[in-house]
Amino acid sequence: MDSVQTEKRVTVTYHMKTHLTDGEVKDHPEETITFVYGVERQVPTLERALEGCHVGDRKNITIPSGEIYGEHDPRLIAEIPRKGLLKQRLVQGQYYRQMKKGKLISFKVLDLLPRSVLADFNDPLAGIEVSMDLAVTAIRDASPEEIEAAREAQVKRRIGCA
């Protein structure tokens, strides 16, 4: 019986929940992914959970925010002057976006002060963790062509082409 190991083509069906920083939990529809294990890199928690599994094995895992969207960094919260910002776009709790000198400025408005704005420059998804109920539904040897295609896709992702 095949087990999940490097260069095996693995199919996993999973049900995912995102755990937002405010305590809200968002449920997502069931999905299926297929990849060449050990070549098409997944987040470390998922890879460790799948290592050695067989078809039919089920797992429940929690993936920390640092492996997905990054940790929320309190150093990225700053009080900035209102001058130069578009007043109508400044709404507490909303994201502010504006092109300035060819660059996108984006932040979450935490508080509106008389002459300044308390702004959070973290990625909107920072601090969110994910839980997954997953099942291994198929395992087989990956063909040399599938392995090569997976390697090429990983290289393209690393250099930002995919």
CATH number at residue 97: 2.40.10
What does the pLDDT look like over 91-101, one tens digit per residue? 999 999 999 88
**Structural domain includes residue 3:** no
Instruction: Quote the pTM value.
Output: 0.76
What does the pLDDT look like over 122-160, one tens digit per residue? 998 899 999 999 999 999 999 999 999 999 888 877 776
Hey, which bits of 4-156 come out as E strands? 8-19, 25-27, 31-36, 58-63, 77-81, 95-100, 103-112, 116-120, 129-141
Claim to verify: residue 98 and residue 138 sit in the same structural domain:
no
SS3 119: strand
Q: How far apart are CA 50 and CA 149, in angstroms?
A: 21
**For residue 99, what are the domain limits?**
74-120
Q: How far apart are CA 103 and CA 105, in angstroms?
A: 6
Look at 154 and 86; give whichever has higher pLDDT: 86
Claim to verify: residue 62 and residue 14 sit in the same structural domain:
yes
Task: Report the percent of the chain where pLDDT is more than 90.
Answer: 83
Claim to verify: residue 115 and residue 131 sit in the same structural domain:
no
Task: Report the percent of the chain where pLDDT is more than 70.
Answer: 98
Claim to verify: residue 106 and residue 79 sit in the same structural domain:
yes
Judged against a pLDDT cut of 60, whether residue 162 lies above it is answered with: no
Claim to verify: residue 95 and residue 43 sit in the same structural domain:
no
In this structure, which amino acid lies at residue 160?
G
Claim to verify: residue 64 and residue 99 sit in the same structural domain:
no
CATH of the domain at 22: 3.10.50.40
